[in-house]
Amino acid sequence: MVSPMAPSPRVEILARSGINTIPKEYVRPEEELKSIGDIFAEEKSMDGPQVPTIDLEAINSDDEEMRKKCHEELKQAAMEWGVMHLINHGIPKELVNRVKVAGREFFELPVEEKEKYANDQEAGNVQGYGSKLANNASGQLEWEDYFFHCVFPEEKRDLSIWPKNPADYIPATSEYAKQIRALATKVLSVLSLGLGLEHDRLEKEIGGMEDLTLQMKINYYPKCPQPELALGVEAHTDVSALTFILHNMVPGLQLFYKGNWVTAKCVPNSIIMHVGDTVEILSNGRYKSILHRGLVNKEKVRVSWAVFCEPPKEKIILRPLPETVSEAEPPCFPPRTFAQHIKHKLFKKSGDEDSLDGKKSSH
């Protein structure tokens, strides 16, 4: 009998095999296909709403007016979109470049080399090199391979499973994680103030320096012979508190905003930041966790580096903070641990293909 969890092939191998049509497991359902277009054409289009760009230059400025303006813009973008391009974020260009070069060099290794780092999802080992398992009745798959591992705090990392080749992978990724952690503190502080809370409140509520965990996922999207039929990442909201994303300047990310899919532009030297479900819950829905997905294309490999900042799985109960709740604004989310929230989402999805955690589906 074929196991329903049969390992799926590496998409990279499939892409290189010379096929002109993709296996049916990668073909999206009929209804969803209507919304999948050519990502290059869509990135060029200036029609309609655009993902906001937020300049963080003045985030800690002594000039009160400048600082307040920066905080207000960040807050508004988090309330209106829940996703934004951050510029002047303070992470040096050279460091970002080292992270990208190291990730790219790892993925340029032969698949046999990368398989040495393969994860074993069925055994519960999610860290390492992997591809999506066909874990529902439809057998639906995504057009990507990935590398996933914990990058912060240092004592929670398992360096033995990090790529040893290229040699700069560990130093570059470690330093980047440290700097993203510091950036997360700054952003959380602005979001706390934006809710009328003490600056360090959200940070504390999601575990602080000790318990907030950063997970890196390098998404590797090979060229796809039928990009109009597939998705690199299916529509989802991130469960994290915040997510920070770098990419190789190939378009792919789309956001579901006011009933339409909006394509994110490639903004030089920016980091894309998502508000995830965790901050949406704590803020009682004032900050949004936006539905998003990744398209693929025929011409260029796309790579993205997502860092998910996550609360501990069991230790904290996530619920709207009392200060965000009133008679007029009752709690929109029931109390759940992070683990329960993830489980609830998976359950909802497998039980009802048209519902994504109560949010509008992608089609």
Q: In the complex, what is the shortest distance from the CB of residue 280 to ligand AKG, in angstroms, rounded to a whole number?
A: 15
> In the complex with Fe ion, which residue's Cβ is closer, 71 or 341?
341
> In the complex with ligand AKG, which residue's Cβ is closer, 71 or 217?
217
Q: In the complex, what is the shortest distance from the CB of residue 165 to Fe ion, in angstroms, rounded to a whole number?
A: 27
Is 233 an interacting residue with respect to ligand AKG (CB under 6 A)? Answer: yes
Reading the block at residue 354, the tokens are 């048209």
Is 254 an interacting residue with respect to ligand AKG (CB under 6 A)? Answer: no
Is 291 an interacting residue with respect to ligand AKG (CB under 6 A)? Answer: no
State CA 183 to chain mean position distance.
Answer: 16
> In the complex with ligand AKG, which residue's Cβ is closer, 103 or 294?
294
Is 234 an interacting residue with respect to Fe ion (CB under 5 A)? Answer: no
CA distance 105 to 218: 12
Among positions 217, 286, 288, 341, the unique one binding ligand AKG when judged by CB under 6 A: 217
Catalytic, 336? Answer: no
**Any alpha helices (H) in 225-330, and if so which ranges?**
277-282
CA distance 279 to 82: 10
Among positions 238, 277, 280, 310, the unique one binding Fe ion when judged by CB under 5 A: 238
Among positions 131, 189, 237, 304, the unique one binding ligand AKG when judged by CB under 6 A: 304
DSSP string, 51-112: --EEE-TTTT-S-HHHHHHHHHHHHHHHHHTSEEEEES-S--HHHHHHHHHHHHHHHHS-HH
- Alpha-carbon distances, residue 59 vs 68, 88, 317 (angstroms): 8, 10, 30
> In the complex with ligand AKG, which residue's Cβ is closer, 140 or 219?
219
Q: In the complex, what is the shortest distance from the CB of residue 141 to Fe ion, in angstroms, rounded to a whole number?
A: 17
Map residue 106 onto helix, strand or coil.
helix
> In the complex with ligand AKG, which residue's Cβ is closer, 88 or 248?
248
Spell 337-348 as b/e; 16+ CB within 10 A means b.
bbeebeeebeee
Identify the active-site residue in 10, 28, 293, 302: 302
All residues at 6 or more sequence positions from 338 whose CB lies less than 8 Å from its CB, including other chains: 239, 278, 310, 311, 312, 313, 314, 316, 318
Among residue numbers 306 through 325, which ones bind ligand AKG (CB under 6 A)? 306
Of 161, 143, 97, nearest in space to 302 by CA: 143
Is 277 an interacting residue with respect to Fe ion (CB under 5 A)? Answer: no
Is 292 an interacting residue with respect to ligand AKG (CB under 6 A)? Answer: yes
Interface with Fe ion (CB under 5 A), residue total 1
Active-site residue set: 302
Positions touching ligand AKG (CB under 6 A) are 217, 219, 233, 238, 245, 247, 252-253, 292, 294, 304, 306
